[in-house]
Amino acid sequence: MVEEGDEVVIRDETVLVSLMAANNEVGTIAPIEEIGRITSEEDVLFHTDAVQAIGYLELDVDELEIDLMSLSGHKIYGPKGVGALYVRYGSTHIEPLVHGGGHERGWRSGTLNTPGIVGLAKAIELAESERTERSKKVRGLRDRFWEGLDEELDEIYINGHPDDRLPNNLSVSFVGVDNQRLVGRLSDDGVYAATGSACSTMETKESHVLTGMLSDDDRIESSIRFGFGKDNTESEIEEAIEVVVNNVNRLRKFNDMM
């Protein structure tokens, strides 16, 4: 929410505002509608990375006054390695990165990934028609997971916005527990979680999202991101709660012995 008194930082030389519709690490949803209204009033282009959001939020580019929007297949049960960039007709000129035969009206030369494109289109169609149902199911599983952890464990915290968040994401800090170590233990027990973004799973440095949000090192270094999907089951969630609780307790006990 943009609130009264918030500073609007659009300057004379600002040509573009670009932000994620929802954050990939903590699931916080950006106030797209208000930003779209402001950028439109200020006559500044508005781009949003909707890769994480498109499966769960209804993003009407006209209503939300979005000029450019990025999408990706693999976050909505579509093929990996294919995405799309929506560009509002007449809004701007995009300089191509890949030159050559002039495919896609010169925007991206090269023989097209036909199966990927068809798959992406179908995935978008399904995401659209099943959005409400998927959101409800995934939110239920995610909330039950949190409830289960919260019943059994002290000093755990949700990262990101408490309410304005995607239904499929849960970023949790388990204070006193090293997140790299916990992720390893969970993986051994069949629960796959991540410390940061999916792109940087091989990196050990701290998430810039969490360091930007949190001042407390304990919370940053003990934070884990869980993702939930439409094909997860209630029994998987109960099992995952048990695995996480056991491992957190074990790691905390180990810390106490040191």
Reported as type and span, the H/E element at residue 213 is helix 208-213
Instruction: Identify whether the C-beta of residue 115 lies closer than 8 Å to the C-beta of residue 81.
Output: no
- In whole angstroms, the minimum distance from the beta carbon of 118 to its own copies comes to 11
Interface with its own copies, residue 102, by CB under 8 A? yes
Query: Taking contact as CB under 8 A, which single stretch among the options 31-39, 99-107, 159-167, 211-219 is the one that binds its own copies?
Result: 99-107
Interface with its own copies, residue 97, by CB under 8 A? yes
Locate 30 and state its tokens.
């950006």
The whole-angstrom separation of Cα 66 and Cα 87 is: 9
Interface with its own copies, residue 70, by CB under 8 A? no
Q: Which residues are catalytic, by number?
A: 199
The whole-angstrom separation of Cα 159 and Cα 51 is: 20
Q: Which of 85, 133, 198, 231 binds its own copies (CB under 8 A)?
A: 198
Q: Which of 13, 15, 111, 205 binds its own copies (CB under 8 A)?
A: 111
Q: Which of 4, 114, 212, 256 binds its own copies (CB under 8 A)?
A: 114
The edge-to-edge listing of strands for the beta sheet with 45-49 is 16-20, 45-49, 68-72, 83-87
Three-state DSSP state, 2? coil
Query: Taking contact as CB under 8 A, which single stretch among the options 93-101, 162-170, 212-220, 241-249 is the one that binds its own copies?
Result: 93-101
Interface with its own copies, residue 204, by CB under 8 A? no
- Render the burial of 124-147: b for 16+ CB within 10 Å, e for the rest: beebeeebeebbebbbebbeebbe
Looking at the Cβ atoms of 102 and 254, the one nearer to its own copies is 102
- In whole angstroms, the minimum distance from the beta carbon of 116 to its own copies comes to 6
The whole-angstrom separation of Cα 49 and Cα 12 is: 24
Interface with its own copies, residue 136, by CB under 8 A? no
The whole-angstrom separation of Cα 88 and Cα 141 is: 36
Q: Which of 33, 34, 86, 109 binds its own copies (CB under 8 A)?
A: 109
Residues in contact with its own copies by the rule CB under 8 A: 72, 74, 79-83, 97-98, 100-103, 109-117, 197-200
